[in-house]
Amino acid sequence: MRKSIFLRTAVGFSAAAVILGASACSSPADPGTSTAPETSASPMETESGSMLMPAGTGDPFADARTAAGHMPMTATTLAGGFVGALDIPGEVESDAANLRADLTSLLQEHVYLAGMAVATAYHAGADSAQFEAAAAALDTNSVDLSEAVASLSDEEQGAAFLELWRQHIGFFVDYAVAVEGGDQAAADEALMQLQGYTEEAGAFFESISGGELPADAVAESLTMHVDTLSAAIDAFAAGEPNATDVLQEAAGHVVMSAETLSGGLAAAAGLEGDVSDEASTLRSQLVAGLQEHVYLAGIAVFTAYTAEGGPESPAFEGAAATLDANSVALSEAIGSLAGEENGTAFLELWREHIGFFVDYAVAIAGDDAAGAEQALADLDDYRPTAGAFFEEISAGELPADAIAEGLGMHVETLAGAIDSLKEQLVDAG
């Protein structure tokens, strides 16, 4: 019974990201992530007449990026609806707001993909196909960050940033390998290299921002990034139950850094808008909360599949607790905009969907095709309910039909990611 409860918690929190994510899109987000994925199951026609088809590639890290890539668009849609309904000052989609949201998404994603890569190296080995896939997803994020920098300066500066950024990732890899192997001298050397990187990167950002981002301030912020992410690596290496919490702290730091960096870069480039006005801030907060939910969910499922003791392990209990805190925080954010009663209703709806995705995860684990189809049908049938909820709390600014339509893509994407996690971490294990 205990195992069943914890497994339902882990996978079900993944479902929550899909439910809210439905409000934004009907096509895969983040065009830099991948081409359209191969499907991992045959299409299934539900009672409502729609076709749902799990869209996994067999690569859980690319699939996680695809699922998470919907969240920034979702956040933009939700923020726009609430700004319109509540007359919140500022602009949701000014050039400056776009920059802050993009950097929030990419920098937070960097931390979570790095954490997943380290956990994969510790589980499957640094020479495994699974780690190669995790590292490839992390590098795709790096390329996307470099393109964002290039868009504000030029291709040469973007290339220089990418070289620096990849270098610092290499130093983190060196640190992770050294910590796992108990090589303190090598770990100290990697940290020294990372400190050198912070100073070089500080000078780089001061240069491309025309002094709007002082080198010392950037270096100080990057030092905190080094400290928090290395602490997370330490926690994963030691098998600490709170490792996901420590990783979340590292991700939270770069979310704050995104506001500072975007402010300096926006000023240097003369971008329209204010990165810190209320509408822009709401959008970036939703980006961070929703995207974080997807990655924390992925890490929880990863932990359930890989930790000794599985869903009964202290490591999984810790990951599930971090997920639950994120869910409560999201419901409180909804409550602060639409009233406490609606925040509570959101959380109840969020958790109701947990069972449907748990049913799907359990079904595919047991090769139960009929059970998987039923779970997808249940998720499909819930779409009108989710649509009506968001339309009501936004006073019609978030149309029910648009939310319901978008939900199908998210069901397919997350179901495919679950398929890929099972394939790579269970079947291949």
Instruction: Supply the DSSP string of 56-103, one letter for each residue.
Output: --S-HHHHHHHHHHHHHHHHHHHHHHHHHHHT-SS-TTSHHHHHHHHH
User: Mapping DSSP to helix (H, G, I), strand (E, B) and coil, where does residue 307 land?
Assistant: coil
**Residue 47 confidence (pLDDT) above 50:** no
- How far, in Å, CA of 137 to CA of 159, rounded? 18
- How far, in Å, CA of 368 to CA of 370, rounded? 6
**Sole residue written with tokens 């029910």:** 400
pLDDT in tens, 78-110: 899 999 999 999 999 999 999 999 999 999 999
**Model-level pTM?**
0.87
Nearest to 99 by CA among 35, 39, 59, 148: 148
More confident: 239 or 52: 239
**Most confident range, picked from 224-228, 299-303, 381-385:** 224-228
In this predicted structure, what is the pLDDT of residue 251? 98
**Residue 246 confidence (pLDDT) above 80:** yes
Domain boundaries, the chain: 1-90+289-429, 102-269
Distances (CA, A) of 18 to 177, 367, 379: 34, 23, 10
In this predicted structure, what is the pLDDT of residue 293? 86
**Could you tell me what percentage of the chain is helix, strand and coil, using 3-state DSSP and rounding each to the nearest 5?**
80, 0, 20
**Residue 18 confidence (pLDDT) above 50:** no
pLDDT in tens, 314-325: 998 999 899 888
pLDDT in tens, 147-161: 999 999 899 999 999
Q: Kindly indicate the confidence band of residue 332, based on its pLDDT and cuts at 50, 70 and 90.
A: very high
In this predicted structure, what is the pLDDT of residue 53? 84
- Residue pair 204/160 in contact by the 8 Å Cβ criterion: yes
- How far, in Å, CA of 204 to CA of 160, rounded? 9
User: Mapping DSSP to helix (H, G, I), strand (E, B) and coil, where does residue 180 land?
Assistant: helix
Nearest to 173 by CA among 122, 216, 210: 122
**Which residues sit opposite 51 in a β-bridge?**
45
**Residue 357 confidence (pLDDT) above 90:** no
- Residue pair 32/86 in contact by the 8 Å Cβ criterion: no
pLDDT in tens, 247-275: 999 999 999 999 999 999 999 999 999 99
Nearest to 227 by CA among 149, 286, 175: 175
Q: Kindly indicate the confidence band of residue 188, based on its pLDDT and cuts at 50, 70 and 90.
A: very high
Rounded mean pLDDT, 171-200? 97
Residue type, 225: H
Residue type, 291: Q
- How far, in Å, CA of 249 to CA of 244, rounded? 9
Q: What is the largest CA-CA distance in the chain?
A: 62
Classify residue 22 by its DSSP letter.
T
Nearest to 363 by CA among 54, 38, 22: 54
- 243-269 and 215-238 helices, crossing angle to 10°: 160
In this predicted structure, what is the pLDDT of residue 3? 37
Overall residue count recorded for the chain in this entry: 429
Q: How would you class 107 by CB atoms within 10 Å of its CB: exposed for 0-12, middle for 13-18, buried for 19 or more? A: buried
